[in-house]
Amino acid sequence: MIKRNPKAKPNFINWRFMTVSVVIVLVFSSLLARAAYIQIIEPDRLQKEGDLRSLRTTSTQVQRGIISDRNGQPLAISVPVQAVWADPKVIHEKGSLSNVKAWQALSDVLSVETDKLINKVKNPKKRFIYLQRQVSPAMAQYVKQLALPGVYLKPESRRFYPAGEITSQIIGFTNIDDKGQEGIEKAYDDWLTGIPGQRQVRKDRHGRVIEDIAVVKEAQQAKDITLSIDQRIQSIAYRALKKYVKLNRATSGSAVVIDVTNGEVLAMVNSPSFNPNNRGQYQSFRVRNRAITDTFEPGSTVKPFVIAGALINNVVEPDEIIDTSPGWMRIGGRRVADHRNYGKMDLTMILQKSSNIGVSKLALELTAPRLQAAFAEFGFGSDTGIGLIGETSGVLPVRRRWSDFELATMSFGYAFTANTLQLAQAYAILGSGGVSYPLSIIKRDEKPQGEQVIPRETALQVVSMLESVTKLGGTGTQAQVEGYRVAGKTGTSRKAVAGGYGDDYVAVFAGVAPVSNPKLAIAVIVNEPKGDRYYGGDVAAPVFAEVMDGSLQLLNVAPDDKEVRLSRHQPMAQEQ
């Protein structure tokens, strides 16, 4: 029998205890050393790793500036909407595509085929893709309730135009990224666009903000714009123009209303137009602001400026009589004629009957340089400076040598071109007593300094002569406005085609009122009216009368005509 040593057991226990103690000490020492290394020697790296997982930079949305009319009526505003976007990587990781019914519901609400929707998120390497932009709040709420993993909502804004087609060509529109594409929206895009701010925040793993750390970049709010346009007058002008363009089966039309006293544009309308809130209506010919982009030969509406030039250059006296018999004349082998033989005429009658012979004789006496200078003083051939994109300045040829026939035709509105705004500006100069105010589409705080381009007395004389055009026997009786004295001029010009002139016409009327103290100048163009009615007095003058009547009443301009007019539709002479 072998005997065991009773002292061996304690030695074994001591050795095991010591081993465990050493191991524990070593473990804790290594942990302590590691903690010290992390916190004291190299803390930045782990802090950076943590920040990469939790720190985020968020953007503060800035709404585009408001465009309003002179009375504060909004013409363009931004409304909050949502964008539906997806993270394909999350969609594939969460297996969202297996929820077929949810994706079918999403395609229904977004009006996108299910296959096309799924194809957008097929690539799991992508992290961001738009599924639909600018969805309504109701649609956004439906998408939110679907709770599809990897499909999210993002706030954005959409431009809304309360006046719709009435102001569409002036205001223009923005694209889906809120960048101006036409009109005021494009011309003043930098002014209307703000700069989003940026903030640094800390988020938890669920994407919730748990700490607002700092402002990275301050937001710059967009600036608003107040136009000189009066939406009430704009509406009156648009309805009248649209009605008569349709009535005369015309291709298009334009009208401009200018405040004679300061050069502000109160209305600028075109027909056809379009609704900027419905991009499905977009057609280039509807978007164009014809009042500034389209030029035409102004016809007899320029005869007052010929007479003004003749008076300024002492070619004729205000009461001088000019013999237009026998109602036609040959100039350089070409024939110039009146509607009939008017015989001896004074300057007032030349305008009232729109005599080509009368102004041709004045133009020949005036000579080409002085006639061109007279037109230039009224703004023809120059940019109006209104600042709208797409404006054309027209063509006022400047040559050393002109044939007598070319000079004669220029005197009754051929051989040069202008746009509707330029014509309205020229009549505004007459109405202001010969003062040219810089035109503006932006409302002014103060009246600008005008330039006296022709003598005041001459301007008043010509305006007084033009009043006869709207009276019995004149070519523009349909431009009469009850209670107000109206001065204006009709114009009818053939449209140029290759090799000469075709069978299409441009009907024009331009004028000012009230004559005793002019407040408004209006120019109306109706392009290519169909049928027997194509004269400016028949087609454009009624538009002028309707717009002038409504505008003067809205502005509370006192009537200055005590004479009772029987009818605007009384017999009238025909302009040439």
290 vs 356: CA distance, rounded Å: 28
Give 62's Cβ-side CA count (13 Å radius).
18
* All residues at 6 or more sequence positions from 553 whose CB lies less than 8 Å from its CB, including other chains: none
Q: Backbone dihedral region of 383: left (phi > 0), alpha (psi from -120 to 50 degrees) or beta?
A: beta
Secondary structure (DSSP) of 224-270: PEEBS--HHHHHHHHHHHHHHHHHTT-SEEEEEEEETTT-BEEEEEE
Beta bridge partners of 271: 253
Q: Which two tokens stand for residue 435?
A: 């003062």
Query: Taking a C-beta distance cutoff of 8 angstroms, is the pair 250, 542 a contact?
Result: no
Secondary structure (DSSP) of 443-494: PPSSPPPPEE-S-HHHHHHHHHHHGGGGSTTSTTGGG-BTTB--EEEEEEEE
Query: Taking a C-beta distance cutoff of 8 angstroms, is the pair 297, 413 a contact?
Result: yes
473 vs 575: CA distance, rounded Å: 11
Catalytic residue chosen out of the listed positions 78, 96, 252, 300: 300
Angle subtended at Cα 559 by Cα 557 and Cα 561, rounded to the nearest 5 degrees: 150
How large is the greatest C-alpha to C-alpha distance in the chain, in angstroms? 166
493 vs 502: CA distance, rounded Å: 10
260 vs 233: CA distance, rounded Å: 15
311 vs 317: CA distance, rounded Å: 6
Q: Which two tokens stand for residue 414?
A: 């051929």
Alpha-carbon dihedral sign for residues 435, 394, 381, 400 = negative
Secondary structure (DSSP) of 381-411: TS------TT---------S---HHHHHHHH
Q: Is 300 a catalytic residue?
A: yes
Q: Which residues are catalytic?
A: 300
